[in-house]
Amino acid sequence: METLSCLRTPSPVGPLFLAASTKGLVRLEFEARMQKMNPGRIQLHESKQALAPYLRELNQYFAGERREFSFPLDLRGTEFQLACWNALLEIPYGETRSYRDIAQAIGHPRACRAVGMSNNRNPVAIVVPCHRVIASSGSLCGYGGGLDIKRKLLDLEQGSVRPCLPLGIGA
């Protein structure tokens, strides 16, 4: 059985759940919409100390002081999902791409809906920036945290609002 360090923390966009393995961040989810973890294979151990480096960088992000995350990720998914999530990591801070753009980037130009489903299953919100993916029309659509949070994250990155308050966790 694998043990993951975990932590629940408040944030400017609502409560977040973080979990990390010895390899990197496995989960960063909006607590209201957490995906199930395999209880027979994964054990969670609460540890603010183990998650401190991740919290520090998230705090900097919400304060408008960080544009890229430097901590390691331990992404777990299908080959297709991993390709989608890695393409999301290539979207520059403050920019957006369409589902079609991502489908083309991974070599599956007709897989727009499958890209959308992969985004829906993204286990590391904010860091793997599925909030930067919009409809081809330029409108906001689909986001696990809700469209209001998607708008807040895009506004933060595009500088149209003041940075959010820090998490206040002292990491």
Query: Quick one: tokens of 28?
Result: 């960063």
Angle between helices 79-89 and 112-120 (to 10 degrees): 80
Count CA atoms closer than 13 A to 43's CA, side-chain side.
4
Is residue 6 annotated as part of the catalytic site, yes or no? Answer: no
CA 117/CA 77 separation, integer angstroms: 12
CA 116/CA 99 separation, integer angstroms: 7
Catalytic pick among 6, 84, 112, 130:
130
The region that residue 146 occupies, defined by phi over 0 for left and psi between -120 and 50 for alpha, beta otherwise, is: left
Catalytic residues: 130
